[in-house]
Amino acid sequence: MSGKQNSAVGEHPSPGPGRRKKSVKPESRLAMVRRARRINRELAEVFPYAHPELDFENPYQLLIATVLSAQTTDLRVNQTTPALFAAYPTPEDLAAAVPEEVEELIRPTGFFRAKTRSIMGLSKAIRDDFGGEVPGTLKELVTLPGVGRKTAFVVLGNAFGVPGITVDTHFMRLVRRWKWTEQDDPGKIEAEIATIFPKSEWTMLSHRVIFHGRRICHARRPACGACPITHLCPSYGEGETDPEKAKKLLKYEMGGRPGQRLKPPPDYPGTPAPAAGTAE
């Protein structure tokens, strides 16, 4: 945690801890952009190790894992994919699988029949239309069955190094709390946020925001009292402001608990997630 509460430059005039409320003019676009960029910089200091929280070793694995992550946690996917990828190491293998056997393997991720159709369908398309290699462009990726822009951006950003903004549930919630946008449609949010940050920041910005949402700025009870960017947040006070109580709400490495990846990157300061079947 950076301990940067109430620093001065570019700060939003909203009341952080110990600050008096005063009437203020609406924030200008320029001030909002400066504040947004500062949030990004400060989150980069808080989470220098931010990364995608799905385990993967190649674009095929990331694509499958991302499709499986719909309506479930990355942890559940990470606990499920080792057996799946051991049985079907390539798109050709998965395309030729017996559907019922795939369903059994991915059952823990929920919606396993629909997900089996998706991952087998996209594996067939990769085999038949792209020579067995996951394509590396947005235009091609979204032609794969079950692959929308969100999934495509995750794969492009993290397996191909192409900048992309990932608008998931955490990203949507936080950018609205920070008043970066008032949109609630993921495509419109993506377009608006893209005007605030340079392309080179898009992928890491997405990881930082999602890390912050998963660990500190939760949907139901954000841990405002333990948040390092209160001085930049117009929604401070939406959650628990008592520092001791807020500290108890922190998750994963911030709360001293295991993360979501079984194989996190080497710089991850927390402990790896447990394998399937062991205590979480």
Question: What residues make contact with ligand SF4 under the rule CB under 6 A?
Answer: 177, 216-217, 222-224, 227, 229-230, 233, 235-236, 238-239
Residue 249 near residue 226 (C-beta atoms within 8 A): yes
Residue 68 near residue 80 (C-beta atoms within 8 A): yes
Shortest distance, position 134 Cβ to ligand SF4, whole Å:
35
Task: Give whichever of 125 and 250 is closer to ligand SF4, judged by the CB atom.
Answer: 250
Task: Give whichever of 135 and 225 is closer to ligand SF4, judged by the CB atom.
Answer: 225
Task: Give whichever of 50 and 102 is closer to ligand SF4, judged by the CB atom.
Answer: 50
Shortest distance, position 186 Cβ to ligand SF4, whole Å:
20
106 class by beta-carbon count within 10 Å (0-12 exposed, 13-18 middle, 19+ buried): buried
Shortest distance, position 173 Cβ to ligand SF4, whole Å:
9
Q: Residues 4, 93, 168, 251: which is the catalytic one? A: 168
Query: What Rg do the C-alpha atoms of the chain give, in angstroms?
Result: 20
Q: Residues 55, 74, 115, 150: which is the catalytic one? A: 150
Shortest distance, position 6 Cβ to ligand SF4, whole Å:
12
Query: Is position 224 annotated in a ligand binding site?
Result: yes
Task: Give whichever of 177 and 247 is closer to ligand SF4, judged by the CB atom.
Answer: 177
Shortest distance, position 31 Cβ to ligand SF4, whole Å:
17
Query: Is position 123 annotated in a ligand binding site?
Result: no
Task: Give whichever of 167 and 233 is closer to ligand SF4, judged by the CB atom.
Answer: 233
Query: Is position 29 annotated in a ligand binding site?
Result: no
Query: Is position 260 annotated in a ligand binding site?
Result: no
**168 tagged catalytic:** yes
Residue 64 near residue 81 (C-beta atoms within 8 A): yes
Residues with a catalytic annotation lie at: 150, 168
Residues annotated within the binding site for [4Fe-4S] cluster are 217, 224, 227, 233
- Binding-site annotation: residue ranges: 217, 224, 227, 233
